[in-house]
């Protein structure tokens, strides 16, 4: 499997939409084991998507 398939499964099984996946990825970026600057870059990219 890959992330695309996992996201498809979540969407089909639980009715997840773009807002759900955005929230999921923002939470993941906030909890990531990386420096603050990298987190800021990730969050900025997610919020502008």
- pLDDT of 15-32, one tens digit each? 999 999 999 999 999 999
Supply the mean pLDDT for the chain: 96
Half-sphere CA count of 49, side-chain side, radius 13 A? 13
What are residue 14's phi and psi, to 5 degrees? -115, 0
- Element spanning 44, H or E: helix 36-47
Query: For residue 36, what pLDDT is reported?
Result: 97
* C-alpha to C-alpha distance for 21 and 25, rounded to whole angstroms: 6
Query: For residue 49, what pLDDT is reported?
Result: 83
pLDDT of residue 14 exceeding 90: yes
């Amino acid at each position: 499997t890959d992330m695309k398939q996992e996201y498809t499964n979540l969407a089909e099984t639980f009715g997840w939409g773009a807002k759900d996946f955005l929230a999921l990825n923002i939470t993941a970026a906030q909890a990531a084991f990386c420096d603050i600057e990298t987190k800021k870059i990730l969050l900025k990219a997610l919020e502008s998507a």
